[in-house]
Amino acid sequence: MDDDPSAPVVVITGASAGIGAALARELAGRHAALVLAARREEILREMAVTLGGAVEVVPADVTRRADVQRVLDQALARFGRVDVWVNNAGRGISRPSVLGLSDEDLEAMFRDNTRSALYGMQVAVPHFQARGKGVLVNVSSMLSRTPRATMRAAYSASKAALNSLTESLRFELAATHPNIRVVLVLPGVVATDFGLHALGGGPDSRTLPGAQPVEEVARAIADGLFSGPLDVYTRPEGVEPVLQHLRGLAGR
């Protein structure tokens, strides 16, 4: 199939499973051109066949800066531009207490969840600046704002750092490049296999009460790419627990 030059070109990291794969399916249905990046090339290529349309597969480990740069280079070689870059890759952790966290635990979480996204920002945003427009999306977590699962404390800390980097970049670009949109996505519990792949294991997120269907999360992200709030809570009621937490802190 020939590439449609009018279709938005969207890069998705961590595209082989979970939110990333669901977002790829959602955007394919909206006729986007997709660049799918993850370590598992075979799964990405199988996805590309099922998605149809314009799909470029880039096997990459986004904890390596050179791999992230290669994702952009391959996207430009295929499509000539990138309109949207979604930093979605990440990993969880299960540890019983903050006091028991090791150096290696923190290093792994900040490598996988913060530094990888920073590489994406540092690669994608200069391209957007040169074009004068673009959309950067960083997928964070509600746990970055409410300590509802203390066994995920190191994960939450890495996502809170990602929030801060996102907000600082948003503020920085607003003055010089107002047409670059910087979006932060804050899902709660999502029905994926995220928990099974956490360091130290953990409950299957699909079995947790109230887990949000991953397709619903993907729709919320897709709907928020080009308009609406810059902080996207994937459930409308998602902001209320954050406000309750902040009110509780203020009342202490």
pLDDT for the residue 97:
94
pLDDT at 166 over 80: yes
pLDDT band at 195, cuts 50/70/90? confident
Q: Is residue 180 included in any domain, yes or no? A: yes
Q: Is the pLDDT of residue 249 over 90?
A: no
**Known catalytic residue at 233:** no
Task: Tell me the average pLDDT across 142-161.
Answer: 93
Residue 79 has pLDDT above 90, yes or no: yes
Overall average pLDDT of the 115-141 stretch:
98
Question: Tokens representing 218?
Answer: 């993907």
Mean pLDDT of 144-149: 87
Confidence of residue 2 (pLDDT cuts 50, 70, 90): low
- Answer yes or no: is 4 within a domain: no
pLDDT band at 165 (very low <50, low <70, confident <90, very high): very high
Question: What band does 147 get if pLDDT is binned at 50, 70 and 90?
Answer: confident
pLDDT over 90 for what percent of the chain? Answer: 80
What domain range is 72 assigned to? Answer: 9-250
Q: Which residues of 88-109 are buried (b: 16+ CB within 10 A; e: fewer)?
A: bbbbbbbbeeeeebeeebeebb
- Mark out the alpha helices in the chain (DSSP H runs): 18-29, 41-51, 65-79, 103-109, 116-131, 153-176, 214-223, 239-250
| Per annotation, catalytic residue among 155, 161, 191, 232 | 155
Mean pLDDT, residues 237-249 taken together: 73
What's the chain's average pLDDT?
A: 93
**Residue 221 forms part of a structural domain:** yes
Judge whether 150 lies within some domain: yes
* CATH number of residue 229's parent domain: 3.40.50.720
Domain total of the chain: 1
* Vertex 24 angle, CA 22 and 29, to 5°: 100
Query: Do the strands 134-139 and 55-59 form a parallel or antiparallel pair, or are they unpaired?
Result: unpaired
The predicted pLDDT at position 1 comes to 47
Q: Check: pTM over 0.75? Answer yes or no.
A: yes
Q: Evaluate whether residue 176 is within a structural domain.
A: yes
* pLDDT confidence of residue 202: 77
Reading the block at residue 184, the tokens are 């932060």
Q: Is residue 137 part of a domain?
A: yes
Tell whether 3 is covered by a domain.
no
pLDDT band at 252 (very low <50, low <70, confident <90, very high): low
Region of residue 52 (phi > 0: left; psi between -120 and 50: alpha; otherwise: beta): left
- Inside any domain, residue 1: no
* pLDDT (0 to 100) of residue 214: 97
- Is the pLDDT at 251 greater than 80, yes or no? no
Residues near 1 by beta carbon (within 8 Å), at least 6 away in sequence: 52, 53, 54
